[in-house]
Amino acid sequence: MSDVVANLISLLKLESVSENVFIGQSQDLGYPKLFGGQVVGQALSAAHQTVENRAPHSLHCYFLRPGNASLSIEYEVERVRDGGSFSVRHVTAKQEGKSILSMTASFHIEEEGFEHFDPMPSVPSPDVFESELSLYQQHADELPAKLRSLFLSERPIECRVVENQNPFRPRHGMAKCHMWIKSISPLPDDDLVHQSMLAYTTDYGFLSTALMPHGISIGNPYLNIASLDHSIWFHRPFRLDEWLLYVADSPSASNARGFVRGKIYDKEGRLVASTAQEGLIRYRRK
């Protein structure tokens, strides 16, 4: 297993302090703020550890404050309800006594019912495309020196964007993105590992879909962008060490906010998860 994958699995496991309190370490990715996907993945892990024989089917988060990557995070779980089929948990993530994220997650027993899903878009296989890391390497001379090591470092999740282009000189286009995602190493047969790692991954590059019609790079110095909320629905079992197609679109941007939604398919074409997010997008030229 790659070291970066092993480190991510360890990051998402958390340390149990008491029955309902867990401590997570922070990962400094070089961004000004703590990566939101890390907090979402860890909060799901904390909630999951208080539930037995039920899998998460949805979670809804609000990002309340920017996180500090140099500090650990305390996750306090409230056991809201355990019913005959569903369990609900509320998780508050805190640093230095202040809340940085609030999450409500619901868990469901395995149950038979009606089946249908939107068909998977027809796109070429991931073998046709270069990895996002490879694109960054090709355009490394356009990166500021202080950010070069951040963008060129090995990552636990490989991303291959169908709309292949120079990530630092985006074209004006439709607010839609197709991206193949997969762990760079095999993962253990543990559903929590796959679910929490997918939760971590779904925040990556998601909100930038709302910038596509405007031809603005996420690295633009006049841009202030931050996630405000994040939701995930888990529909079917999946493995993140096999290719998944993440389809994102942005139906609206207004009032300095962008809204994005996503669908995640496995290679058999089954819809395994859906996502939605709204984020702050301020563009102010000096």
Give CA 231 to chain center in angstroms.
Answer: 10
Residue 55, CA distances (Å) to 46, 49, 63, 239 in order: 13, 11, 23, 14
Q: Compute the distance between CA of residue 253 and CA of residue 30 in angstroms, rounded to an integer.
A: 27
Is 203 part of the annotated catalytic residue set?
yes
Residue 167, CA distances (Å) to 213, 216, 273, 279 in order: 14, 10, 26, 20
Spatial contact of 264 and 233, defined as CB atoms under 8 Å apart: no
Catalytic residue (one of 106, 203, 231, 266)? 203
- Compute how many other C-beta atoms are within 10 angstroms of the C-beta atom of residue 16: 13
**Angle, CA 223 vertex, CA 221 and CA 227 arms, to 5°:** 135
Is 241 part of the annotated catalytic residue set?
no
Residues constituting the chain? 286
At a CB cut-off of 8 Å and minimum separation 6, what does 128 contact? none
Q: Compute the distance between CA of residue 271 and CA of residue 234 in angstroms, rounded to an integer.
A: 9
The token pair that represents 217 in the structure block:
């790079």
- Compute how many other C-beta atoms are within 10 angstroms of the C-beta atom of residue 221: 8
Catalytic residue (one of 45, 183, 274, 277)? 277
Q: Compute the distance between CA of residue 281 and CA of residue 253 in angstroms, rounded to an integer.
A: 9
Catalytic residue (one of 196, 227, 231, 274)? 227
Residue 263: which H helix or E strand, with range? strand 257-266
**158 φ, ψ (degrees, to nearest 5):** -85, 135
Active site residues: 203, 227, 277
